[in-house]
Each structure stands twice: as C-alpha cells, then as structure tokens.
C-alpha cells in the first residue's frame, strides 16, 4: 500500500471508530425509558446535597506532574529517530545520545531535589 | 493465482479494478472492508473477554461465576449488554452535556484504533505504518483525554478527583512505557510493527530486552488501570472514580473499553516482545500466525486477570513514587546500558547482520544484552531493598512515637 493509502486507512478507521461505539448509544437512545425528574438528575453525593462548585482551582501537584511528564515526552520523541537509526550509528552517536539522556536525567534529578515528585 | 487467494483483502482492489470498477472506488471499498474487519474484531472479542475475566476472578475467589445464561454462562454478557441498552440514561444536572456524551465514544475510539497497526499474521495487518510504535503510543494517550473529559464534564467531585488522579498516574506511567519501547526499536532499527515482528524471527525481544519487557508490562498494568494500580476505580475511596455519573450504555462503553484496553496492552506486549505471530510454520500458513499471537496474548492475559483478583491496591503517592523514583530511573539506565552493549557487540563483531533469522546467529548478542539486563535488575532491586528497609525503619520509629504519645503498648515493644 502506498503512503497515501496507509493514511487513508487510518482516516477511514477513525471515521468508523466513531460510528461503532455510537451505534449502541443510538440503539439505547431509541429503546431506553425517559422519566427524568429533578431529584434523579441531582449530582451523586454521599447522602447529602452537593456543596459548592465542582469546577474550582485544584491541587497544584497534578499540574507539576503534568509538566514533568511534558518535559519527558517531548524529549522522548527526539530519542526515537536516534533509536531507529541506531544499528547504523557509530560510537560518537552513542556518546551524543548519552549526553541527551543525561540532560533528561538531569531534569529528573532537579525535579526530585525540588520535591516536585513528592505527593504532599 | 494461488498467491492471490492468501489475502483476499489486499488483492481485492486489483480484482475489482480488473472487473471494471473505478480504481479509486475499488481502493476505497477494499480499505473499508479491511477497516470494518479490524475494528469490529476487538468489539466482538470484548464480550468474550469480560466473560473470561469474570470466570477467572470467580475461580480465584472460590465462586462459580456466570453459569446460567448459555453454555458455561457464555451469553451472560450479551444479556448484560441488552440490559444496559434498555436502561434509562441519566445525565446529571449541571453536566457539560456535549463533552459528557463524547467521552465514552472517544475512550472506545482510542483503544479500537490501536488495533489498526497490530500484525495478526505475516500478511494480515490493518495497515503497516512506518511509524507504528509512535502511532499506538499517541493513539493510546487519547484514552487519557477521554477520562479527563468524563471526569470534568460530570460536575461531580468524586468524578473530578478520580479523573485528576487517573490522568496524573497515566501520564506518569507513559514515560517508562515509551522509554522501554526505545530498546526494541534500537535492536530492530524500525518503528513499523510488522518489521518489529520480522526482526524477532531469530530471537524474541524478551531475551535481549528483558528489563524493557518488565517495564512495559508494569506500566501497561497502570495504563490500563489493573490491580495493583487500579486507582481508576477505587470503589472504596472515590465511589467509582471518573465514571460515577455514567449509567446505561455509556457506562457499558467505559467498562467494555477497560477490558478491551487490558487485552490490547497484552497483545502489544506479545507483538513487541514475544515475537507476535512468529512460530513454526507461521510464514506458510498465516492462520497459524494468528493462533500463535492469540495464544501468546492469552498466556499473558490470564496471569494478569489472576493478578487483578489477588493483589491489594497501592496508594496514589506510592504509585507515583514507584513510577518517578524507580521505574523512570531504571528505564533510563536500561536504555543507556543497552545502547552501550549494542556498540560493544558491534565492535566485537558478534552482532548479527540486520534481518538475520537464524537463532544461533542472534544468540551471542542476545546473551550479552540479557546479562546486561540482569545486572540492571540486580542493581535496581538492591537499591529498592535498601530504600524499603530505610522507609520501614523510619515508619516503625514514627509508630513508636505515636504509641507512646497515646500511652498504648506498641507492637515494637
């Protein structure tokens, strides 16, 4: 298959991947009962009415993990071409890769020392 | 002529064109049929998977499991699906309706789309993308987005808390997973899934990339929300987590997706580390390759079911600590060790030529890498043992202090 056809396959796949899970929802929409009332639609809580707003500012730790992840994920993308061509690369390329991985590790150690990895 | 009959899907476009159909249309029809086959397969398979999971969990807990509907209770899940379809669907007041309804569809979409690049046999693969490995990691992380959408749009505090936790855990465990994937890519020198399997004809990657295989397995347990990392649905703490407000078929999609994802993760493991379809006679009879692949996946999947029914759940701080302070450093060291050893074997002249399918030719390099892997594991285990001992001694000290403050005899006395 040519490159265009390969991605055409993914495109068609993506279109159908929306259709397949939507079908049972649609069938359910046809057959299910609709007896909504205000109490049934309340937000689920433990025996009391829910207090305050849900969409509030949240614990910062989650965002820090998100940032650390972002650093790693972007750097990992750069490592994939290196890994793919590794069979043809010489020792210099190994050293260059090592330097890059060292920078990655450096970021991890920095985050660790700054207690960004503690669940506090 | 005989050659053409091996793979109906791939030869369909030329056949249709020769019988007078417009070439573009013929191509589209063949693609469409291929997509339908590949995409429907996991959706049908999931019915069997849920049955298997319930049976295995029941046996572990000394129960029988579903055994009334159909032979061995096989049709239980079809009955359950029917029940879910005719159940009332509740969207809570104050929910963000569009995102709320999209979330289960996107979750299922992300898992289904991973199947597009899985090589089932030497000739049967949805599409052999040249960046297959990147593709499935990228598509897999759409599932994380779906969980965030579900948790945020539900307008429920449990759901939001669950979603935050899950997303923090999932993005974290993606780092060692992708780092582990670097090693097979380095050995095979390709990102295409079919070429990865072909590169394993001489030697399965679980031998030269043993640490990677372990890392991939563990992070996949976390990615798919399996025990001991099943914080996704911590029933006792978060009631159900991100899908608490979902009911009816929308909940059903989330549940089906979870089982499908767990199976897909094991399938990917079998493809990347256990040689995929490779086995005796697989290149001649593609159906054998298909059977081999699913036998290998089953050999991984059933232990993961038993694991799920056996082990307790870890705390979120332990889960994150285990990832960032153990798995990620080990994964980084592993990449460096393998890269170094690959250069060494090349310098020593014992590296096999690329595309070598002979077992003995692959053996020296694989053994060198395996020993390197074992050393990495030994060092890592020794470090975690010391760390654990230190943590335990600190905790027991604290226990004594608390016990004395409350004037009760502590266990340490």
Q: Is B125 helix (H, G, I), strand (E, B) or coil?
A: strand
Helix (H, G, I), strand (E, B), or coil: what is residue B119?
Answer: strand
Q: What's the pLDDT tens digit per position in B49-86? A: 888 888 888 888 888 888 888 888 888 888 888 888 88
Rounded Cα distance between B71 and B57, Å, is: 18
Are the beta carbons of B125 and B118 closer than 8 angstroms?
yes
Residue A22: pLDDT over 80: yes
- DSSP H helices, chain A, are 3-31, 60-84, 91-113
Query: Chain B residue closest to A79 (CA)?
Result: B182
Chain-chain contact of A24 with B190 (C-beta, under 8 angstroms)? no
On whether the CB atoms of residues B129 and B192 are closer than 8 A, the answer is: yes
pLDDT of B392 > 80? The answer is yes
% of chain A surpassing 70 pLDDT: 98
**Backbone phi, psi, residue B125, to 5°:** -145, 140
**B183-208 mean pLDDT:** 86
Nearest-neighbour CA in chain B from A98: distance (Å): 7
Task: Record the tokens describing residue B292, joined without a space.
Answer: 């081999």
State the pTM of this model: 0.86
Q: How far is B413 from chain A (nearest CA, A)?
A: 30
The tokens for B153 are 């749009």
Q: Which residues in chain B have Cβ-Cβ distances shorter than 8 Å to A83?
A: 182-183, 185-186
Length of chain A: 120
Cα gap A46→A53, rounded to integer Å = 16
> Is the confidence at residue B254, as pLDDT, over 80?
yes
d(CA B316, CA B16): 56
The C-alpha atoms of residue B4 and residue B241 are separated, in whole angstroms, by: 51
> Is B71:A51 a contact under the CB 8 Å cutoff?
no
For residue B270, give the nearest of B293, B288, B289, B302 by alpha carbon.
B293
The tokens for B381 are: 């285990």
Rg of chain B, C-alpha, whole Å: 24
Exposed, middle or buried, A33 (CB in 10 Å: 0-12/13-18/19+)? exposed
Show which of residues 34-63 on chain A sit within 8 Å of chain B, judged by CB atoms: 34-36, 38, 40-46, 50, 54-55, 58-59, 61-62
Q: Identify the burial level of B100 via C-beta atoms within 10 angstroms of its C-beta, where 0-12 means exposed, 13-18 middle and 19 or more buried.
A: buried
**Distance from C-alpha of B391 to C-alpha of B406, rounded to nearest angstrom:** 23
CB distance A81 to B319 below 8 Å: no
pLDDT confidence of residue B413: 44
Complex ipTM: 0.86
Instruction: Let me know: does B30 contact A8? Beta carbons within 8 Å.
Output: no
Residue with tokens 């094991």: B266
Position B10 scores a pLDDT of: 60
CA B16 to chain centre: 38
Contact A22 B252 (CB under 8 A): no
Angle (CA) B96 B97 B101, round 5°: 120
Whether residues A117 and B325 touch (CB distance < 8 A) is answered with yes
Distance of CA B90 to the CA centre of its chain: 31
| Beta carbons of A60 and A119 less than 8 angstroms apart | no
**Residue B410 has what pLDDT?**
47
């Amino acid at each position: 298959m040519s490159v265009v056809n390969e991605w055409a396959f993914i495109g068609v796949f993506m279109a159908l991947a929306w259709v397949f899970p939507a079908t049972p929802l649609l069938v359910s929409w046809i057959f299910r009962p609709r007896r909504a009332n205000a109490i049934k639609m309340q937000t689920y809580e433990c025996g009391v009415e829910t207090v305050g707003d849900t969409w509030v500012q949240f614990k910062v730790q989650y965002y820090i993990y998100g940032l650390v992840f972002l650093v790693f994920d972007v750097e990992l993308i750069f490592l994939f071409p290196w890994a793919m061509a590794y069979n043809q690369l010489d020792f210099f390329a190994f050293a260059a890769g090592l330097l890059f991985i060292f920078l990655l590790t450096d970021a991890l150690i920095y985050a660790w020392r700054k207690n960004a990895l503690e669940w506090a | 002529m005989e050659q053409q009959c091996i793979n109906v899907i791939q030869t369909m476009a030329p056949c249709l064109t020769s019988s007078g159909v417009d070439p573009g249309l013929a191509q589209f029809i063949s693609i469409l049929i291929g997509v339908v086959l590949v995409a429907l397969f996991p959706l049908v398979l999931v019915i069997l998977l849920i049955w298997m999971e319930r049976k295995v969990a029941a046996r572990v807990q000394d129960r029988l499991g579903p055994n009334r509907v159909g032979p061995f209770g096989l049709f239980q899940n079809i009955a359950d699906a029917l029940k879910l379809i005719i159940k009332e669907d509740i969207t809570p007041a104050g929910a963000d309706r569009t995102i709320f309804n999209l979330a289960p569809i996107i979750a299922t979409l992300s898992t289904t789309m991973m199947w597009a690049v899985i090589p089932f046999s030497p000739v049967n693969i949805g599409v052999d993308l040249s960046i297959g490995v990147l593709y499935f990691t990228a598509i897999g992380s759409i599932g994380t987005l779906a969980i965030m959408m579900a948790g945020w749009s539900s307008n429920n505090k449990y759901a939001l808390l669950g979603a935050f936790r899950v997303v923090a855990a999932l993005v974290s465990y993606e780092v060692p997973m992708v780092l582990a994937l670097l090693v097979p890519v380095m050995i095979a020198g390709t990102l295409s899934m079919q070429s990865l399997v072909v590169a394993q004809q001489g030697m399965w990657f679980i031998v030269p990339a043993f640490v990677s295989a372990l890392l991939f397995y563990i992070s996949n347990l976390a990615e798919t929300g399996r025990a001991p990392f099943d914080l996704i649905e911590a029933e006792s703490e978060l009631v159900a987590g991100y899908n608490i407000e979902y009911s009816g078929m929308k909940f059903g999609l989330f549940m089906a997706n979870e089982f499908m994802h767990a199976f897909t993760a094991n399938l990917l493991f079998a493809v990347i580390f256990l040689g995929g379809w490779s086995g005796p006679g697989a290149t001649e009879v593609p159906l054998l390759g298909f059977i081999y692949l699913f036998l290998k996946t089953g050999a991984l999947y059933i232990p993961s079911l038993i694991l799920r029914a056996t082990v307790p759940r870890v705390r979120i701080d332990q889960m994150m600590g285990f990832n960032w302070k153990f798995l990620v450093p080990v994964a980084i060291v592993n990449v460096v060790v393998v890269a170094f050893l690959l250069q060494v074997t090349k310098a020593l002249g014992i590296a096999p030529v690329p595309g070598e399918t002979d077992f003995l030719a692959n053996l020296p390099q694989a053994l060198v890498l395996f020993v390197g892997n074992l050393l990495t594991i030994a060092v890592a285990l020794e470090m975690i043992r010391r760390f654990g001992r230190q943590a335990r001694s600190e905790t027991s000290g604290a226990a004594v202090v608390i016990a004395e403050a409350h004037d009760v005899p502590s266990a340490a006395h």
